[in-house]
Amino acid sequence: MISVIIPTYNRATFLMEAIRSVLDQDPDFEKGPGKDLELIIVDDGSTDNTEQKVAGLSAPVVYFRQSHQGVSAARNKGLDLAAGEHIAFLDSDDLWKKEKLRVQMSLMKALPQTRVCYTEEMWIRKGVFVNPKKRHRKHSGWVFDKVLPLCLLSLSSALFHREVFDEIGRFDESLPVCEDYDLGIRLARRYPFRFIDRPLIIKRGGHSDQLSKRYWGMDRYRIAALEKALSLDLTADQERLVKAEIVKKSRILAGGFHKRGKKTEAEKYTRLISRHS
């Protein structure tokens, strides 16, 4: 079984479209409890009509509502509820193409040692298709160095063997954003990534409730994840790469805080530069 986990918060309209893209997966998958595919919706305390919309579905889904705790807590609750051997996540504002899971499961069956595979993406920003930039290019293999500058792993495009979460841990609920970046670092230290160079998901962005818009200075949270990574069992080369990325990002933040006259914050990142240089 594949367990598909959709965390959601006040996105009823987007959510129903995301759910449909799961239910419309190729007919190789029988949907419902005990079938090939189960769909788990974790409602992170929505105040819109999400619950009523989901209740009106004719298809079998698992719906769990919790108090508002953040996307990491919602995904972790989905993992608690999941029965599948394989785990997929879908953000409630993203969409899957109908062949997404079939293509990924074909790869997993052909290469049974694979624990993480992900796909190319199509991007829509404010209703317009845009091309990802060169720095967003995806990679296969041992990609530890590639996950440090930016988040390489798009969770909506990924398929995991569930044992990875037993081995590396789950989502860090202390991070309000960049929790996927943190997970990607831990994954890349342990496993090679398998990249499918086909755009099998559609990522929709530009709307006002995106977490990346709500939290400024995203590198603050990436640095927190990088400092956490130093406690992992890294090779000497991996440790060097992590420290170099901390210094790089800290220089950018320190410069930005200096320009804004925020001396305390600037000094914090200046100390990080000294510590890791």
Residue 222 CA to residue 251 CA, distance in Å, equals 13
pLDDT on residue 139? 94
Q: For 119, how many CA atoms within 13 A lie in the half-sphere containing its CB?
A: 28
Given a cut of 90, whether residue 224 has pLDDT beyond it is yes
Judgement on whether residues 265 and 188 belong to the same structural domain of the protein: no
Given a cut of 70, whether residue 213 has pLDDT beyond it is no
Query: Are the CB atoms for 160 and 80 separated by under 8 Å?
Result: no
Given a cut of 60, whether residue 214 has pLDDT beyond it is no
pLDDT on residue 207? 55
pLDDT on residue 253? 95
State the average pLDDT over residues 186-206. Answer: 94
- Structural domain contains residue 250: yes
Given a cut of 90, whether residue 246 has pLDDT beyond it is yes
Judgement on whether residues 9 and 63 belong to the same structural domain of the protein: yes
| Amino acid in position 149 | P
- Other CB atoms within a 10 A radius of the CB of residue 201 amount to 25
- Structural domain contains residue 217: no
Given a cut of 60, whether residue 210 has pLDDT beyond it is no
- Structural domain contains residue 72: yes
pLDDT on residue 85? 96
Judgement on whether residues 43 and 131 belong to the same structural domain of the protein: yes
Single residue among 208, 223, 247 that ends a domain in this structure: 208
Judgement on whether residues 54 and 6 belong to the same structural domain of the protein: yes
For the full predicted model, state whether its pTM sits above 0.75. yes
How confident is the model over 123-149, as pLDDT tens digits?
998 778 888 778 888 999 999 999 999
Instruction: For the chain, give the mean pLDDT.
Output: 93
Judgement on whether residues 190 and 269 belong to the same structural domain of the protein: no
How confident is the model over 25-84, as pLDDT tens digits?
998 888 877 789 999 999 999 999 999 999 999 888 999 999 999 999 999 999 999 999
Q: How confident is the model at residue 208 (pLDDT cuts 50, 70, 90)?
A: low
Judgement on whether residues 146 and 243 belong to the same structural domain of the protein: no
- Structural domain contains residue 225: no
- Structural domain contains residue 254: yes
- Only one residue has tokens 């600037």, namely 266
Total domains in the fold of the chain: 2
Given a cut of 70, whether residue 212 has pLDDT beyond it is no
Judgement on whether residues 44 and 172 belong to the same structural domain of the protein: yes
- Structural domain contains residue 268: yes
Residue 275 CA to residue 271 CA, distance in Å, equals 6
Q: Residue 28: which domain range?
A: 2-208
Q: How confident is the model at residue 232 (pLDDT cuts 50, 70, 90)?
A: very high
Q: For 247, how many CA atoms within 13 A lie in the half-sphere containing its CB?
A: 11
The closest of 46, 63, 210, 38 to 124, measured between CA atoms, is 210
Residue 190 CA to residue 147 CA, distance in Å, equals 13
- Structural domain contains residue 157: yes
Single residue among 152, 173, 208 that ends a domain in this structure: 208
CATH of the domain at 6: 3.90.550.10
Judgement on whether residues 124 and 60 belong to the same structural domain of the protein: yes
Judgement on whether residues 253 and 159 belong to the same structural domain of the protein: no
Taken in order 94, 229, 75, 33, is the CA torsion positive or negative? positive
- Structural domain contains residue 213: no
Judgement on whether residues 238 and 187 belong to the same structural domain of the protein: no
Judgement on whether residues 31 and 165 belong to the same structural domain of the protein: yes
Judgement on whether residues 203 and 257 belong to the same structural domain of the protein: no
- Other CB atoms within a 10 A radius of the CB of residue 220 amount to 17
